[in-house]
Amino acid sequence: KGLKQVDDWDRWLDGHYSSLKETFNKYKKYGESLPEEFITMDKSRLHFCVIAGRRDNFKDETYRISRKKLNTEKILILHYDHLMDAARNTIGSATY
């Protein structure tokens, strides 16, 4: 289901990027401009991420599929526990 959502978002962006750009402009800090990658759609810059299941749900085959999707379609597939581990490691760090 998550991979279908990626396809849906990709198609939506093709026809509606201008409305997304308007939303970016609406919520940006007053007096600041958006970086170029927010103004012009460049699909070579897009990456998608799908959070699917928990660590215990991932098996060798799941990791193989995940690596393949990342290499061929720039879709990162993570499990929820990976996301939580990354969040815990980021807390207290100087980040962007």
Per-residue pLDDT of the chain (96 residues; tens, 9 = 90+): 678 899 999 999 988 888 888 888 888 888 888 888 888 888 888 889 999 899 999 999 999 999 999 999 999 999 999 999 999 998 888 766
DSSP per-residue codes, 16-80:
HHHHHHHHHHHHSPTT-PPPHHHHS--GGG--EEEE-S-GGG--HHHHHHHHHHHHHH-EEEE-H
Distances (CA, A) of 67 to 5, 43, 61, 70: 19, 20, 10, 5
Segments making up each domain of the chain, as ranges: 2-90
Q: Does the reported pTM lie above 0.85? A: no
